[in-house]
Amino acid sequence: MLCYGLIDAPTNFTVADDWAPSEPMVAGWILMSEQWPATRPDRFGDWIARPTGLWEWVKYPDPPFAVVYHEGKLKNADTMEEIAIETLPGNVAARLDALETPPPPLLPES
């Protein structure tokens, strides 16, 4: 079986060995040197096709779990372990500070 991968993406497709495209592949697609890996090191990433023709395991940048607010703390919903707000994407700490800071008093009109 031949495995083709979209460079820098987890997208792939497999075809029979005797099938070969008669025209060059669409830009970005390459013939991979191995099949899509059957195992995953963990559930927090994906296999990404690299221009070398090899698959590379890449971790997701965002937290790969649901976050809950429990007993006054942010926690990983899977393990219920406390997490630091600074580890969350999207500058959550600054956004929460902005929401919790009271607005400045209005100036009287002159």
pLDDT tens string for the chain (110 positions)? Answer: 889 999 999 999 888 888 767 677 788 999 999 999 989 887 778 899 999 999 999 887 666 678 888 898 888 888 899 988 777 766 767 777 777 777 777 777 66
Using CA atoms, how far apart are residues 68 and 78, in angstroms rounded to an integer? 9
Nearest to 63 by CA among 94, 86, 30, 33: 86
pTM for the model: 0.55
| Residue 53 region by backbone torsions, left for phi larger than 0, else alpha for psi between -120 and 50, else beta | left
Please report the DSSP string for 81-106 in residue order. Answer: -B--GGGSSS-HHHHHHHHHSPPPPP
